[in-house]
Structure formats: structure tokens, C-alpha cells
Amino acid sequence: MKTLISRLDHGTRLATAVVVVIAVTLIPLVIALWPHQPSTTDTTYPSAVLTNVSYTDCENVTDEVPCGQATGTLSTGHQVDVMLFRDAWLSHAVNGDQAILYASNSPGSETVYTFHSHDRAIKLAVFTIIVIIVVRLVVGGKGIRAIASLLASALFIWAFLIGGISTGGSPLLYTTISIVLVLTAVLFFTHGLSTKTLAAWAGTMCGAATAMLAGTLLSSWLRLGPADESASALTYTSLDIDLSALSLAALLIALIGILNDIAAAQAATVFSHTTPGIRPSWKTIAPTALAVGRDHSASAIYTISFSVVGAGLAAFVLAHTHNQPLPAFLQTDTVATTLTQMLAGIIGIITTMPATTAFALILSRVPTKPRPVTAHNH
């Protein structure tokens, strides 16, 4: 074991030490905070083929009123009556469609089936396989590792982060733990244990921390409320969720990809100007790296701005349709939350670039050659 460690270069040892510290610190915390949800439920989501689909004036009814009906043939061959609401009409559910039904089971009464969504599992699986093949051909093994990391991260976020918040946990606590663990696992698994990866990891953490701080302060100052219908629906449940913290958590989850992109590129820029075995000159590398970083950061600023605004596009169109004045629209919870997410994201971006550059310049001086193993004569 000692011989194996002695053969590792100093950068690999340092990166490994950071990963070990994060794992030892946070994994016990994840185990302690792991959400435990009741396994029993009164609802199921069976798949069925729709026939005898008919609609009645769905254009003029609200979302809560059924405006159609159909017959659903379950995988067992059993046929059931299916209620269709306006969302089924808007998604163009017709005869022969494979659909996911929402089955509500109430004690002492028959099961009620309603249309939930189209069954898209096979189509999504086929397209995912095509994308994986293309990534393997173009990006190689590193791209496959990135996809594997993405899938594992998505499962962890669903089980731990979303599960923890839905059971009443603190959105910021669960988000912070998730971000640190996910970024650590994804970055080092995809890019390897090295000082370059360590610099990108440290820069991303700095950007995420400043974005969280800025978002928290601005959310408290603006006294934000529910940003959309989903957030409003949470207020009718028994959960005591801080909606402004939930919006901030959503920003951080969406932001880490962009911050990671900036940090990885910036660290690669710095290390591409260094030569193994030669002490790098900060005065030579820093101006070039910062110039590249400024261009990348400027692009990332309007990337995060457009993505945040695009996510709320329906609300913008609705306000314009009802001729709502722009000054009044900007004061709504939806737009104020969007602007808060955008501004906090920009602060995270402009922090990540110089922070990663500084970490990369410092870590680029770590010797890359392993310590020679001396032979013992007996």
C-alpha cells in the first residue's frame, strides 16, 4: 500500500485526499438525513392503450373539469374507464395511444382512472442510446463517464435531495450537501484525480457558495413568494417549505453545470500553458488565462440569463396577452424570483472564473513527478 501511494504524483495525492475528506465528512451526514417516505400509497400509474377517445368542449373548460372519456386496456388485458381532462386534449391523446394513467384507489369505492401522460419510455430510451453512441464516437471514454456520472447524480438528487425536501427538510441544507457530493463525484470521476481537476472543483465551489449567499440575501430582501403554480400548490400541503429557499435551491442545481463548465475550461487553459517539471510563471500565464476567462464568462452570463428567462416564458407570454404593464409585471413573484435567480447566477459566474484561475495557478506549481522509491538492500 505504501509503495502504491509513493508512486502517485503529488497532485494525485492531494486530489485523493480532498475526495476522501469530502466522503468521510458528508457520507455519514447523508445516511443520517436520508429521507424515509411511507411505502404505502393510494395511487398507482399503470400503462394502458386508449380506445374510444372522445372530447366535449375541452376548449372552454377549466383544468379541473373532465371534458372527455376513453377506454383504457391495461397490460393485464383488463379494460377500464378513463376520464380525460383538458391536459389530455392539449397533448392530443387519441385512439391507439399508449398512455400512463393515474389510478386513485379509495377504500370502499372503485378505482378512478384519469389520463396522466403519454407513455414515452421506449422513445426516450431509444433516443438516449443514440446520444450515448454519438458521445462515445465523438468524445470518447470521458464522455461516457460524464453520462454515467449524470445518470448517477440524477438518481441521487431524486432520492436524497427531492425526497428530503418533500418530507419537510431544509431545501438549502439538502441542496448544499447534494451539490458538494455530486460535483466531487462527477468532476473527479470524469476528469480524473489531478491538480487540474482539483482547481476546477475549488473554483466551482467558490462560485456556488457566492451564488447561494447572494441569492439568500436578495430573496430575504425582496420577500419572495410562490414563483409558479407548482410552488403555490406546495402551500396547500402539510409541508412547511421555505419557497424562497426552494427557488434558490432550484437555481443552484441549474447553475452548477454552467459553473463547472467555466471552471473546467479555465483550469485547462492555465494548465495548457505549463510544462511538466518547469516552474510556471504566473506573470506570463495569468493575463492570457484571464483574457480567455473573461470571454467565457461573458458568454455564460447571457447563457444563464436566457435559460432562466426561457424557463418562465409561459408566464411572460400570459402577462403580455392580458396587457399587463411591464413595471407591474416585474414586481410579481414569478419575475422577481426569475431576476433573483439570474442575478445570483451572474455573481456565481463572475466569481468562478477568477477563483478557478487563482487555484489553477497555485496548484500548477505542485510537483507532478512521484517521489522515487528507494530499494532496500538486505
Place of cell 455519514: 28
Q: Among 13-17, 228-232, 284-288, where is mean pLDDT lowest?
A: 228-232
pLDDT of residue 317: 81
Read off φ and ψ for residue 54, nearest 5 degrees. Answer: -145, 145
Place of cell 494525485: 12
Could you read off the pLDDT of 147-197 as tens digits, one per residue? Answer: 888 888 889 988 898 888 888 788 888 888 998 998 898 888 888 888 888
Mean pLDDT value of segment 278-296: 77
The residues, ordered by sequence, that sit 6+ positions from 213 with a Cβ below 8 Å of its Cβ are: none
pLDDT of residue 275: 67
d(CA 103, CA 85): 14
Could you read off the pLDDT of 323-332 as tens digits, one per residue? Answer: 878 777 777 7
Could you read off the pLDDT of 28-79 as tens digits, one per residue? Answer: 999 999 988 665 567 788 999 999 999 888 888 877 888 899 999 998 889 9
Helices (DSSP H) in the chain: which residue ranges? 2-7, 10-33, 86-90, 121-138, 141-156, 163-166, 171-191, 195-222, 229-234, 243-272, 282-311, 313-321, 326-329, 333-363
Query: What letter would DSSP give residue 7?
Result: H
The residues, ordered by sequence, that sit 6+ positions from 249 with a Cβ below 8 Å of its Cβ are: 161, 165, 171, 172, 174, 175
Residue 115, classed as helix, strand or coil, is strand
pLDDT of residue 343: 84
Question: Taking Cα atoms as reference points, which of 25, 31, 28 lies closest to residue 159?
Answer: 31
Percent of the chain at pLDDT exceeding 90? 19
User: Could you tell me the pLDDT band of residue 108, with boundaries at 50, 70 and 90?
Assistant: low
Mean pLDDT value of segment 354-362: 89
The residues, ordered by sequence, that sit 6+ positions from 53 with a Cβ below 8 Å of its Cβ are: 68, 69, 70, 84, 93, 94, 95, 97
Mean pLDDT value of segment 106-114: 79
pTM for this prediction: 0.72
User: Could you tell me the pLDDT band of residue 295, with boundaries at 50, 70 and 90?
Assistant: confident
Question: Taking Cα atoms as reference points, which of 192, 170, 169, 278 lies closest to residue 11?
Answer: 192
Question: Taking Cα atoms as reference points, which of 304, 324, 208 lies closest to residue 260?
Answer: 208
User: Could you tell me the pLDDT band of residue 228, with boundaries at 50, 70 and 90?
Assistant: low
Place of cell 438528487: 157
pLDDT of residue 4: 47
pLDDT of residue 319: 77
Mean pLDDT over each residue of the chain, to the nearest integer: 81
Percent of the chain at pLDDT exceeding 70? 83
Crossing angle of helices 171-191/141-156, nearest 10°?
160
Please count the residues of the chain: 378
Total H helices, total E strands in the chain: 14, 6
